[in-house]
A = this chain, B = another copy of it.
């Protein structure tokens, strides 16, 4: 256990297999033009010695690390367990897509200027970078905007700013699905709760798709901007109070995200409104906590597997032209809140 044996190198394997080191390398990489019998002998020797290729030496030679760097922007001072679970789920799906390609995933949570870092590709640690997380951390996104301006490239989820390569949900369709669901259900006093000034264009798209679909039915969405608060949940709670004061007869609410919707749900309970009897509620994101709520939250769920795969593919893709505009499909999951 102690006195740990030195890690064997390809030379050790070569000696054991009775071939040259170059042949070991070729055999283990499945290069063409290696005698089958030789290859087998090399594999056996490698196995016996517990040999594993040194990834640093390999990456240095190949100039490729087969790893993706994933940066998650957090709210400053935010507790790790308070990170919007949607981003954890997205992280999970990115990890799946990464590992399906045999790539590694390097993750980094960033919140303060002291730990801002965008040099994963520049240092060779990763072949490409993906950035996700809250749009509310302006300094972080400014930092990444500047990194991009100086040549560091990456793709991101949502729309934290203008110059980035992005990927988003089909937000307009999601909004439309929510609107049509409400209308079919006979709701008439329908509100949208979501940030209006956020750099997160996705919220606007959801609202616009929602409003347009309502308009097609001769209805106008009440747009309620949540007040500033510690996080989306708290914003949702606060938004309801203001909304019900101004529009006490509201009978349906579409919230721009699930965390917001869960706050809205809490606020509605606090106000003594029954969901869905008095007010129906739809969120957006499909986070797990929505299924645990009471009533469980009806929501628009993006296809996260597709999102992870598309983000990784996009990040690895060199062709500039294919690096913008991708949309991830969403579908309505009807649960108890409508």
Residues of A within 8 A of B (CB): 1-2, 4-5, 7, 50, 52-57, 59-60, 65, 67, 80-83, 85, 88-89, 91-93, 95-96, 99, 104-109, 115, 119, 122-125, 150-151, 233, 262, 266, 269, 286-289, 292-294, 304-305, 308, 320
Contacts and interface: CB of A to CB of B under 8 A. Distances in A.
Contact of A292 (B7, B95, B286, B293): B293
B99 A92 contact: no
Contact of A56 (B53, B65, B106, B305): B65
A292 B233 CA distance: 9
Nearest to A291: B233
Given A99-B109, A294-B294, 7 more contacts: A56-B60, A80-B305, A95-B108, A95-B109, A99-B108, A262-B292, A289-B292
A81 to B, nearest CB: 4
A52 B126 CA distance: 13
A93 B105 contact: no
B80 A96 contact: yes
Copy number in this complex? Answer: 2
B99 A125 contact: no
Nearest to A59: B56
Contact of A266 (B1, B115, B288, B294): B294
Contacts of A287: 81
Given A88-B88, A286-B81, A294-B269, A1 B320 contact: yes
A93 B80 contact: yes
17 contacts: A1-B320, A2-B320, A7-B122, A55-B124, A56-B125, A67-B106, A80-B89, A81-B88, A85-B85, A95-B107, A95-B108, A99-B115, A106-B107, A107-B107, A289-B292, A293-B293, A293-B294
Contacts of A125: 55-56, 104
Contacts of A85: 81, 85, 88, 288
B109 A107 contact: no
A108 B105 contact: yes
Nearest to A51: B122
A107 to B, nearest CB: 5
A4 B308 CA distance: 26
Contacts of A105: 106-108
The 10 closest A-B pairs by CB, nearest first: A80-B92, A81-B89, A52-B122, A56-B60, A88-B88, A56-B59, A56-B56, A55-B123, A289-B289, A52-B123
A288 B82 contact: yes
Nearest to A62: B56
A123 B59 CA distance: 11
Contact of A53 (B1, B7, B123, B289): B123
Contacts of A99: 108-109, 115
Given A2-B320, A50-B122, A106-B104, A81 B304 contact: yes
